[in-house]
Structure 1
Amino acid sequence: MSSRVAVIGGGSWGTTVAHLAAHNEPTVLWCRDPKTVAAVNEHHANPRYLDGFELHPLLRATTNMEQAVAEAEVVVMGVPSSAFRAVMEKAAPHLPPWVPVVSLTKGLEMGTRLRMTEIINQVAPAHPAGILTGPNLAKEILAGHAATSVIAMADDTVATALQRVLTTDLFRVYTNDDVIGCELGGTLKNVIALASGMVDGLGAGDNTRAAVITRGLAEMGRLGTAMGGRADTLAGLAGMGDLLATCMSPQSRNRHVGEQLGRGRKAKEVVAEMDQVAEGVFASGVVVELAAEHGVEMPISAEVHAVVRGRRTAAEASTVLMGRQSRPEPEAARASRFRRLWPEKAESKGSRLRRVWQFARRSPR
């Protein structure tokens, strides 16, 4: 595919993806802020979000949506989940036929609980929808450090073409047809990153952080597969890889918010002083709702949401989690025990998991 690329959203990651695409194809960056547009066009920079980093000299920016997308052969959406639908609706009337639309957003729409590709399918149903996701910290990539990512599309031909558009010498892109798993991995890890930040803010050590990350990955796997994603996807770059980077890096917005919560601050005041969005703050409630709907136990996510809403402190949430009843770690071990005890009731995956967790909660160890 010989593509003209339009990236919608001039934040740190949208700008970085536009910079990467500009190595391979003519690329335009759409921004709301005229000052950012001027900085990109005149100085090859985005000082608001990426101060000190130089962008590709051929990258151009505009505030005109029609100008940005009317001749595009690939459209990349890099806006927060809260604004995604409105911006997509603004872009949709100007999209050329059949142009693929790729989301960079790692969140869920509040109210509808939809993933971003589902919003794309609603607003622009004739356009293939996908996601670019993985352990990608914008400033590290612009600094020239090697990184990997995943482009997830249902159509492997489209995914392979987009792979070539976005790959550079130091940015390696894999393909995956599990859009649900990739999209949920990017969303769920933000909630676990809040928990990782909280334990850092509480002054805990590496043992505690490792426990949060590992058990958090188990939660991601439970909900991700219950909603139609694959376990191998959630164990890969879009799941575990992204989780590690977001939980450990001081550049992570979600980890930063969690750390401040661990120090006793309120979520609203931390978010208010940030220039970019920490998606996990908004996703935590939706994740808890989805977990209940699918009969999935997610204790870390539930406690994160309680802290974000101000119902608990981070210290209280930690006490609750450490006081939970002990049980076997492998999910298969719990399911196997249940099948031995009640084989006649193991009729479906959903009911089996719900009954296993009910049994585990009341059974002494």
Structure 2
Amino acid sequence: MSKVAVFGGGSWGTAFATVLADGGNDVSIWARRPELVAQINRGRNEDYLPDHELPQSISATTDPAEAVDGAEVVVLSVPSQSLRDNLGAWGDVLSQGVVVSLMKGVELGTTKRMSEVISEVGGVPTERIAVVSGPNLAREIVQRQPAATVVACPDQGAADLVAAACATSYFRPYTSTDLVGAEVGGAVKNVIALAVGMAEGMGLGDNTKSSIITRGLAEMTRLGVALGADARTFAGLAGVGDLIATCMSPLSRNHSFGVGLGRGMSVAEVQEHTRQTAEGVKSCSSILDLARAHGVDVPIIEQVSACVHEGTSVPDVVHALLSRARKPETD
């Protein structure tokens, strides 16, 4: 048994902490709010995963140094746009061990991937940074429903260490050295899920949603390859696997947010209704900036960003996509 620290007491942070505990590890969760820490130490997280009893080997603290004391692996699971500020506030807590990112976004303003922010602000070498990404909806994970994921890290030994820590009878980790591909897949799928949710909210059917998913996968792959990723990654769990789950499940925040937009609600109204972070809403403009900087055509991402940030109506988004010039599918 080893110790693992998890920074972030939200849905996915708590769910992954459960996986790690079931894998035989002692887990210390850092959370900002004392009341949430108290809940977790009583064996529950009613704010994010009500009715789920936490394993006894999970504890919580508001002290970053206490959370990482003795940890071989440090897992980061905070909203992507708050990562930089959190790293600054935590101080020198990432000086040893493997750092694992559960975050799926691209930073506003800098267009940096989460591993790049961790390396820059936390002073962590890239070979010590891993990403966990796959079709891993938190509520199904805490119910111990079977799922698989990818642990991506440039250092195979570090990937193997993290995979061993999170392997359980219901959670199967595969390894990869394609850190860039895993991160691009995780970020882009949230934006495509918004588009699929919009279609569902408008009452459109499976043909429409399947078409968006497939063309969204093409955008994801184009962008990833332009950034140096392996195209094969996007045919796997961190690509199409995560894309399908996030686009189709009502448990997906991004899907649900898109449904609200498709039903005619404003961004502010959906935010008020859901009260949870939909990473695609915050990251779509930075992903679009990243794609434009590398000359990559991403029409779905472009239209989602226009809807979320410029007030373009959902019917106008559909029209803009369908009226584009025809071209070969694999062009």
TM-score normalized by the length of structure 2: 0.96
Task: Say if 1:69 and 1:91, in contact at 8 Å, map to a contact too.
Answer: no
Distance 1:89 1:171 in 2: 32
Structure 2 residue aligned with 1:215: 215
Taking the TM superposition and a 5 Å limit, the aligned residue runs for 1:267-282 are 267-282=267-282
SS in 2 for 1:22: helix
Q: Offset of 1:51 from its aligned partner?
A: 0.6
Are 1:119 and 2:117 matched, yes or no? yes
Distance 1:94 1:145 in 2: 33
SS in 2 for 1:309: helix
SS in 2 for 1:203: coil
Distance 1:19 1:92 in 2: 26
Q: Offset of 1:34 from its aligned partner?
A: 1.6
Distance verdict in 2 for CA 1:310–1:263, change over 3 Å = farther
1:101 maps to which of 99, 102, 107: 99
Task: Say if 1:11 and 1:276, in contact at 8 Å, map to a contact too.
Answer: no
Taking the TM superposition and a 5 Å limit, the aligned residue runs for 1:1-365 are 3-23=2-22, 24-42=24-42, 44-95=43-94, 97-127=95-125, 128-331=128-331
Q: Offset of 1:89 from its aligned partner?
A: 2.4
Distance 1:189 1:146 in 2: 21
What is the one-letter code of the residue matched to 2:36? T
SS in 1 for 2:107: coil
| Larger radius of gyration between Structure 1 and Structure 2 | 1
Task: Say if 1:36 and 1:46, in contact at 8 Å, map to a contact too.
Answer: yes
Distance 2:131 2:145 in 1: 22
Distance 1:94 1:148 in 2: 29
Q: Offset of 1:234 from its aligned partner?
A: 1.2
Aligned residues: 328
SS in 2 for 1:297: coil
Distance 1:171 1:94 in 2: 28
Distance 1:74 1:312 in 2: 43
Distance 2:104 2:208 in 1: 25
SS in 2 for 1:131: strand
Distance 1:162 1:213 in 2: 30
Task: Say if 1:195 and 1:212, in contact at 8 Å, map to a contact too.
Answer: yes
Q: Which has the higher contact order (CA 8 A, sep 6+)?
A: 2
CA shift digits 1:190-215 (9 cap, x unpaired): 01000000000110000000000001
- Structure 1: tracts of 5 or more residues without a match: 332-365
Task: Say if 1:65 and 1:90, in contact at 8 Å, map to a contact too.
Answer: no
- Structure 2: tracts of 5 or more residues without a match: none
Q: Offset of 1:3 from its aligned partner?
A: 3.1
Q: Offset of 1:310 from its aligned partner?
A: 3.6
* Identical positions, percent: 45
TM-score normalized by the length of structure 1: 0.87
